[in-house]
Structure 1
Amino acid sequence: MKILAFGASSSSQSINKALASYTANLVEGSEVTLLDLNDFEMPIFSENIEKELGVPAQAQAFVDAIAQTDAIVVSFAEHNGSYSAAYKNIFDWASRIEKAVYQNKSMVVLSTSPGPGGASSVLTQAINSMSYFKGNVVGSLSVPSFYDVMKDGEIINESVKQSLTALVAKL
């Protein structure tokens, strides 16, 4: 199984990228491709820029990465209760190429934060919108207090580890 994983954040130390990578790698025998949103920097989406410059190659690369995979594991960072600007911009450009951005792929949708909220507001938004863009969400989890749950690249909370393992079993 080919799994595409990414944290919907541009932070070089993204805890969401770490969670998505860890979770995707729970699927034994899978081939995991880990995306870094910083590799998809583009002008802020606007119809004016699209008319003037066309759709950036990075947007096509994002759509192509989804097309070449069997399943997706994404973990959303929460910025002021919503998506990060980096993710939203990539998504907006990608949707100009393919309205069905997630191309009917099975998805595990996650979120995490250092605090007790676990970025649950953005997770709810993501879950509620994925079907409009052909994301087949098979499971989701908000992971609060990230630094109490993951140490040195490993989930140390057994309950969270079991929940993540159960989620990826649905892919």
Structure 2
Amino acid sequence: MRIVAFGASTSSTSINKALATYAAQQVEGAEVQVLDINNYDVPMFSEDKEKEIGQAEGAQQFLADLAEADAIVVSYAEHNGYYPAAYKNLFDWASRIDRSVFQNKPVVYLATSPGPGGAQTVLAAAVASAPYFGAEVKASVSVPSFYDNFDFETGSINNPEIAAEIKQAVSQLA
């Protein structure tokens, strides 16, 4: 099984990228490819820009990379209760090429934040909109207080209950 994982964040120290990577690695025998959304250069979306350039190359590559997956793990960062602007912009470009951005693949949606809310608002929005964008959501997990629940030295969740919840979630991708 080939899993593509990414954090919907452009931070070089993204806790969501760390969470998505950890979660995908919990699937035994899976080949995991971790994407960095910084690698998909797209201009700010507008209909005028789309008329000018057509399909943004970065969005085309993002869709091609997702197409290589048997399953997808995404962890959403939350900015003011919603997707970060850079991820939303990439997603908008990709959805103009193929509305089924996630290509009817099984996905696990995650979200985390430094605080106790665990980015639950953006996670709920992502889960609610998933059927419109070709995501077959198998499970979703919010991880609160990331820095209290993740060990950066080992790259793993140190809270046994959360670790079990994530392992159970990603086991549904098989």
Say whether the fold is shared (TM-score over 0.5): yes
Instruction: Give the structure 2 partner of residue 160 of structure 1.
Output: 162
The amino acid that maps onto 2:84 is: S
Identity %: 56
How far has the Cα of 1:134 moved from its partner?
1.0
- Moved runs in structure 1, 4+ residues, more than 3 A? none
Contact residue 41 and residue 57 of structure 2 kept, 8 A: no
Match of 1:11 in 2: 11
State the SS of the aligned residue for 2:107.
strand
1:96 partner amino acid: R
Q: Report the residue type matching 2:59 in the other structure.
A: A
Distance 1:160 1:93 in 2: 34
Q: Do residues 126 (structure 1) and 98 (structure 2) align?
A: no
Shift of residue 147, structure 1, vs aligned partner? 0.3
Structure 1 residue identity aligned to 2:128: N
Q: Tell me, what secondary structure is at the counterpart of 1:74?
A: strand
Q: Tell me the TM-score normalized by structure 1.
A: 0.99
Q: Distance in 2 between matches of 1:67 and 1:7?
A: 17
Equivalent-residue separation in structure 1 for 2:62 and 2:139 (angstroms)? 22
Give the Cα–Cα distance (whole angstroms) in 2 for the partners of residues 55 and 44 of structure 1.
12
Q: Within 2, Cα distance between the matches of 1:142 and 1:35?
A: 20
Q: Which amino acid aligns with 1:49?
A: K
Aligned-CA RMSD value: 0.6
Q: How far 1:53 moved relative to its partner?
A: 1.3
Report Cα offsets for 1:19-42 as digits up to 9, x if no partner: 000000001111111000110121
* The one of 146, 151, 171 aligned to 1:169: 171
Instruction: Answer yes or no: is 1:75 the counterpart of 2:52.
Output: no
Instruction: Give the 5 Å matches for 1:28-43.
Output: 28-43=28-43
Count of paired positions: 171
TM-score by length of 2: 0.97
Q: Tell me, what secondary structure is at the counterpart of 1:166? A: helix
**Which position in structure 2 is the counterpart of 1:52?**
52
After TM superposition, the structure 1 = structure 2 runs for residues 96-115 of structure 1, keeping only pairs within 5 Å, are 96-115=96-115
2:49 partner amino acid: I
